[in-house]
Structure 1
Amino acid sequence: MADGARTDERRGEAGASRGGRPRDPALDEAIVKATRRRLVLDGYSDMTIGDIAADAGVSRPTIYRRWRDKLELTIDALDYGFRAQRDTYPRLTFEELSAREAFTEAIRRVDPCYFNPDAMVLMGNFMGETLRTPELLAVVRAHAVEPRVHLVERVLRDLRDRGAVRADLDTHTIATLCFGAYYSAFLRGEADRADLAAKVAAVLWPGIAAAGS
């Protein structure tokens, strides 16, 4: 995009009015989905409100009435994906599972691609913005990374309370390893990661389980 067009884009962001019209959930969803697709294809820096509007079939003012700027829209796009992922979880509670099954299910849910097959590309684009837009990675960490990793930590703490895992377990490091396994598998070209959670659990469980578990 030419520098003049980018300047116009920024001016539009700065001068937009959000108005007070009632929100149309279907329209909001179309814009958010278009944003998520543009984040994958273009990355955050090259993504423009104009392109999102064209993809969603709306005008730029329609977007600016709902979101102040591109960052705010991106935050909602991230939250949309995380909510959609949670909606696809099996209808079960960890308490009804055996200790190892609960650990495996927690690892499965930390998969960035659990809901969105393009999630690894999306996350790579966000990490590539570290120098240009450092505040974006902080948003990604708070909205898309920590909620997933904290789930593994919470399950491990619950298992520790049940006496199923070692009392001295470093839950933070274990959760980080589980999350990182998906990135390692992606970078090594392992396209089929459906059973990765079970494999990771099988490797880690003997080292974290309490005696007799």
Structure 2
Amino acid sequence: MTDTTPKTERLIGYARVSTTGQELNLQLDALKQAGIPDKLIFIDKASGAKTERPGLAACMTELQAGDTLVIWRLDRLGRSLKHLIEIVEELKGRGVGFRSISDGGIDTTTASGEMVFNIFATLAQFERRLIQERTQAGLKAARSRGKKGGRPKISANDPKVQMAKKMSKNLSISVGEICSTLKISRATYYRFLKIKGE
């Protein structure tokens, strides 16, 4: 017999502090006041730039269609505006709502809140296009002045190139040891060996 009991919508919280000793209690109190039980609040103690956040990963796994992810403030969730929008769009695709307590009006479970978030997404796209345009304009200006973009050409007379070639002939030294000594990657080492003398 199939269970026809309607699924209860859950509020699930996420809080993050960086390792610089920020206060977590403010976020936890706000999430609890929003009606989220302790067992459904996921926490990370890591900087926003860090890609590995076990608390967020566990939170995303816990979320199911019909749930709403609640955070204290937008900068607690995403590493950047682009990352934040990617997370919220993923949640939307999974049928999960999103709400920010401190950023009034951001609640994708309401029509007005979703509209506000769509404005954010449009601004992020606008910013990306501006950066692309500036980069292209900068490269074009540099080319017109005779400069070429990309990695500068390394001469066969470069001391590191000469040392790499000399050390490569000594079979008692491994490639790893050569790279470690010269502080270069393996890819750079093999590139050095291909450079022909002038």
Q: Same fold (TM over 0.5)?
A: no
Scaled by the length of structure 1, the TM-score of the pair is 0.27
Scaled by the length of structure 2, the TM-score of the pair is 0.28
Bigger radius of gyration: 2
